[in-house]
Amino acid sequence: MSLQERTQRQHALERAAAVVAQCRKCEIGSTRRNSAYGEGDPCAALMVVGEGPGETEDKLGRPFVGRAGELLDKMLLAIDLPREDVYICNTVKCRPTLDVGHRLANRAPTPDEMRNCRPYLEEQIAIVRPRVILALGAPAAKSFMGEKFSITKQRGQWFEGPNGTPVIATFHPAYILRQTGGAMTEVKKLVFADLKQIRARLNEPLSAPEQKPEQHSLFD
Ligand code: URA
């Protein structure tokens, strides 16, 4: 990947993030502290898509920086992918909240919120052009594979996502953290098996259409 291409993608992502920061399509655009657009390598081979920002993400304006994010970092390292080599984002860029009186609790994004935010996610995919998308948890997986998708039955299987990008789903790190004892060990084993599939896919040589000659300018 040339430096020029990398810079262009980075700028395109920054422009898109600035648009999202002004977005008020949903009510959560007004209750958020910060949007958490996404971050990582603009030329990443792997894009990770979660559900939506939680409290820490809302505070810092970055995806997956709370407890689930810490576990995600470890999951990625288990297949030799440091966080900074991956592009990380969510199906919705603002924190979906529920007013429970004395505080705001997290909640799953509504179908309307996911629909409103979809063009931003598709734009990210179009800019980064990952080789593989990892959907974390049922809501993210359903946003790619459809409402009938079953995370327990169909995680670890490959599907075709936007622009023909291969998509695979696994359990959300927050779900892993909610398990205890042997159940946690079992879930971790399943997740590791899914992650190894990603590693194997990324280790495959680029297929012919992906091997498009790069546009190099002088002194790249
Ligand atoms: N959970 C998500 O799905 N996304 C985040 O960014 C953090 C927690």
CATH code at position 130: 3.40.470.10
Residue 113's nearest CA partner among 201, 217, 178, 23 is 23
Counting Cα atoms < 13 Å in the Cβ hemisphere of 67 gives: 6
Residue 213 has pLDDT above 90, yes or no: no
Q: Closest residue (by CA) to atom 7 of ligand 1?
A: 64
Q: What is the pLDDT of residue 1?
A: 82
162-197 pLDDT tens trace: 999 999 999 999 999 999 999 999 999 999 999 999
Q: Kindly state whether residue 139 falls inside one of the protein's structural domains.
A: yes
Which residues are CB-contacts of 215 (< 8 A; sequence separation ≥ 6)? 2, 4, 5
Q: Kindly state whether residue 147 falls inside one of the protein's structural domains.
A: yes
Rounded distance between C-alpha atoms, residue 150 and residue 153, angstroms: 5
Mean pLDDT of 106-112: 96
Q: Kindly state whether residue 92 falls inside one of the protein's structural domains.
A: yes
Pairing of strands 46-50, 132-136: parallel
Which residues are CB-contacts of 132 (< 8 A; sequence separation ≥ 6)? 45, 46, 47, 165, 166, 167, 168, 198, 201, 202
Instruction: Yes or no: say if 172 and 51 are a contact pair by the CB < 8 Å rule.
Output: yes
Q: What is the pLDDT of residue 162?
A: 97
Q: How does the average pLDDT of the chain come out, rounded?
A: 94
Instruction: Yes or no: say if 166 and 49 are a contact pair by the CB < 8 Å rule.
Output: no
Q: What is the pLDDT of residue 220?
A: 46
Q: Kindly state whether residue 217 falls inside one of the protein's structural domains.
A: no
Q: Kindly state whether residue 211 falls inside one of the protein's structural domains.
A: no
Pairing of strands 87-90, 39-40: antiparallel
Q: What is the pLDDT of residue 211?
A: 53
State the residue for tokens 């030329």: 43
| Structural domain boundaries, residue 28 | 3-203
Q: Kindly state whether residue 143 falls inside one of the protein's structural domains.
A: yes
82-99 pLDDT tens trace: 999 999 999 999 999 999
Q: Kindly state whether residue 122 falls inside one of the protein's structural domains.
A: yes
For 57-96, give the DSSP string. HHHHT-SS-SHHHHHHHHHHHTTT--GGGSEEEES-SS--
- For residue 145, how far is its CA from the centre of ligand 1 (angstroms)? 19
Please state the pTM of the whole predicted model: 0.93
Q: Is 64 a pocket residue for ligand 1 (Cβ < 6 Å)?
A: yes
Instruction: Pull the structure tokens for residue 210.
Output: 């992906």
5-20 pLDDT tens trace: 999 999 999 999 999 9
Q: Is 58 a pocket residue for ligand 1 (Cβ < 6 Å)?
A: no
Residue 219 has pLDDT above 60, yes or no: no
Q: Is 38 a pocket residue for ligand 1 (Cβ < 6 Å)?
A: no
Q: Kindly state whether residue 54 falls inside one of the protein's structural domains.
A: yes
Instruction: Yes or no: say if 36 and 90 are a contact pair by the CB < 8 Å rule.
Output: yes
Which is it for the CA torsion 117, 120, 125, 126, positive or negative? positive
How many domains would you assign to the chain? 1
Secondary structure class of 167 (helix, strand, coil): strand
* pLDDT confidence tier of residue 210, bands split at 50, 70 and 90: low
Q: Is 52 a pocket residue for ligand 1 (Cβ < 6 Å)?
A: yes
Distances, alpha carbon 74 to alpha carbons 60, 130, 173, 192, in Å:
20, 20, 10, 11
43-79 pLDDT tens trace: 999 999 999 999 999 999 999 999 999 999 999 999 9
